[in-house]
């Protein structure tokens, strides 16, 4: 074993792991494109200041940062894409056609303690729709997420998009006695409740203006789930005459996109981040054991924070580590996603061996995936086994003439050099 190891919390992608990684990237890309999103990317590092705009000084300890330019500027490896996206949108705000529909699949680094579902380097699918402030935009982004989950083979019984809405929760908090200037504190409390004792929660809620009976009511409201497409249920439970207008409008759009059955309202979903402004959502396994598979929401004030014009926006992120764990648990990682050779070329005699590279080159030049044997044996049986092990569709056996063997059917026939490429479908 070599002395120097890879850094803690990072991964080496050997061919088998890379094939899955690449497969996942291509699924993310395919689903994004068919949903009308355009791919973008930014630098692997940015100025440290860019990351403080949204997250404050608190983010710095989680970053891999470094000082350059004669000590005058701090930079950091990107821990997320949103600040880069906001910078890019702000820089070209006037020339970009609206709505802006962007996706990317970048890698990020965070200086966290590695644990299940969390590594120091990971990849994340980001999907953002900017320039539209409508429940239809929210639903289209959530549809894209569901379209991907279904593409992976996941079902609506296995995963759910849990949706809340900041304004709706804020309205409920108001009815429970929380004044407007304490609503953000209440969101943070809601976000932290799973890590608190009931006593601590009651005390903290009391400090926000809720009496004990209302704290209990608040807890109940946040714990209950309401299926999308049945807002009456939710309204009754919240003792309202009718469902909040924001949820009703979103509910209609989720139905129009045909994904109501994949979604449920869960007012306990907060997405701790202070910058969300309306709809927020997370994807969870229905058993609830893993971390959120994806999370996002509306962030209508963020582009302004980066000196851009007022720009409504909604988006989400999905990390590769939690998703891969989930797909693995559900048996949804395909067996072998390594590229499959069209042909495996070898010589049946020493005289023929000089022809192998030329024939292989001809096939490759025609766009065919062609491998060749590097062995000196001329034992056709052994070489055919190598061809099978390589998962090749055909073996090309070079002797005095050329024999083409279909490795699926076992069929074998002589073929002229000039027609070989065509016979292989090149």
Residues of span 148-187 touching a copy of itself by CB under 8 A: 150
Q: Return the half-sphere exposure (C-beta side, CA atoms, 13 A cut-off) of residue 267.
A: 24
Residues 6+ apart with CB under 8 A from 5: none
Q: Which residues are bridge partners to 65 per DSSP?
A: 76
Q: Does 141 engage in binding with a copy of itself (CB under 8 A)?
A: no
- Shortest Å distance, C-beta 181 to a copy of itself: 29
Query: Residue 343 burial by CB count (10 A; 0-12/13-18/19+): exposed, middle or buried?
Result: buried
| Interacting positions 110-129 with a copy of itself (CB under 8 A) | 111, 121
Nearer to a copy of itself, 218 or 308 (CB): 308
- Binding-site residue positions for L-histidine: 80-82, 110, 124, 128, 271, 275-276
180 touches 174 (CB < 8 A): yes
Among 151, 112, 193, smallest CA distance to 23 is for 151
138 touches 251 (CB < 8 A): no
| Interacting positions 272-301 with a copy of itself (CB under 8 A) | none
CA–CA gap between residue 149 and residue 283 (Å, rounded): 10
| Interacting positions 329-368 with a copy of itself (CB under 8 A) | 338-339, 341, 354, 357-358, 361-362, 364-365, 367-368
* Cα dihedral 83, 87, 88, 93 sign: positive
Q: Does 68 engage in binding with a copy of itself (CB under 8 A)?
A: yes
85 touches 128 (CB < 8 A): yes
Nearer to a copy of itself, 75 or 218 (CB): 75
Q: Does 306 engage in binding with a copy of itself (CB under 8 A)?
A: yes
- Shortest Å distance, C-beta 300 to a copy of itself: 17
CA–CA gap between residue 366 and residue 417 (Å, rounded): 13
The pattern of x and - marking residues 37 through 56 that bind a copy of itself according to CB under 8 A reads -xxxxxxxxxx-xx--x---
What value does the CA radius of gyration of the chain take, rounded to a whole number of Å? 28
Residues 6+ apart with CB under 8 A from 278: 138, 165, 166, 167, 246, 297, 298, 300, 314
Nearer to a copy of itself, 186 or 302 (CB): 302
Q: Does 249 engage in binding with a copy of itself (CB under 8 A)?
A: no
Q: Does 88 engage in binding with a copy of itself (CB under 8 A)?
A: yes
- Shortest Å distance, C-beta 343 to a copy of itself: 10
- Shortest Å distance, C-beta 202 to a copy of itself: 39
- Shortest Å distance, C-beta 254 to a copy of itself: 10
Instruction: Name the residue with tokens 């004669």.
Output: 70
Q: Does 13 engage in binding with a copy of itself (CB under 8 A)?
A: yes
Q: Does 5 engage in binding with a copy of itself (CB under 8 A)?
A: yes
Q: Does 59 engage in binding with a copy of itself (CB under 8 A)?
A: no
- Binding-site residue positions: 80-82, 110, 124, 128, 271, 275-276
């Amino acid at each position: 074993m070599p002395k120097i190891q890879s850094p803690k919390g990072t991964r080496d992608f050997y061919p088998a792991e890379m094939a899955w990684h690449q497969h996942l990237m291509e699924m993310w890309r395919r689903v994004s494109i068919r949903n009308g999103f355009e791919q973008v990317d930014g630098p692997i590092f940015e100025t440290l200041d860019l990351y403080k705009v949204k997250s404050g000084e608190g983010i710095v300890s989680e970053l891999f940062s470094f000082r350059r330019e004669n000590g005058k500027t701090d930079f950091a490896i990107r821990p997320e894409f949103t600040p880069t996206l906001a910078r890019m949108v702000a820089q070209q705000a006037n020339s970009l056609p609206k709505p802006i529909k962007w996706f990317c699949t970048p890698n990020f680094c965070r200086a966290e303690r590695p644990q299940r579902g969390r590594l120091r380097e990971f990849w994340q699918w980001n999907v953002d729709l900017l320039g539209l402030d409508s429940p239809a935009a929210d639903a289209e982004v959530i549809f894209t997420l569901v379209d991907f989950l279904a593409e992976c083979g996941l079902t609506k019984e296995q995963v759910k998009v849990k949706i809340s809405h900041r304004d709706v929760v804020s309205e409920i908090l108001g009815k429970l006695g929380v004044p407007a200037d304490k609503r953000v504190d209440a969101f943070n409390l809601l976000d932290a409740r799973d890590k608190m004792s009931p006593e601590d929660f009651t005390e903290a809620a009391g400090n926000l203006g809720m009496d004990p009976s209302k704290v209990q009511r608040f807890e109940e409201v946040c714990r209950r789930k309401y299926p999308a497409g049945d807002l009456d249920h939710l309204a009754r439970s919240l003792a309202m005459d009718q469902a909040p207008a924001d949820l009703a409008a979103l509910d209609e759009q989720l139905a129009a996109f045909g994904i109501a059955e994949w979604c449920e309202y869960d007012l306990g979903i907060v997405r701790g981040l202070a910058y969300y402004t309306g709809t927020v959502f997370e994807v969870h396994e229905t058993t609830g054991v893993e971390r959120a598979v994806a999370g996002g929401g509306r962030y209508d004030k963020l582009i302004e924070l980066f000196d851009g014009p007022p720009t409504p926006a909604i988006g989400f992120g999905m990390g590769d580590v939690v998703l891969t764990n989930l797909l693995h648990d559900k048996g949804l990682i395909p067996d072998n996603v390594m590229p499959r050779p069209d042909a495996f070329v070898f010589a049946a005699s020493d005289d023929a061996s000089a022809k192998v590279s030329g024939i292989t080159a001809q096939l490759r030049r025609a766009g065919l995936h062609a491998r060749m044997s590097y062995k000196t044996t001329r034992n056709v049986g052994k070489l055919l086994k190598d061809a099978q092990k390589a998962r090749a569709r055909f073996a090309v056996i070079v002797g005095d003439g050329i024999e083409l063997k279909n490795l699926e059917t076992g069929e074998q026939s002589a073929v002229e050099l000039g027609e070989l490429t065509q016979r292989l479908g090149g």
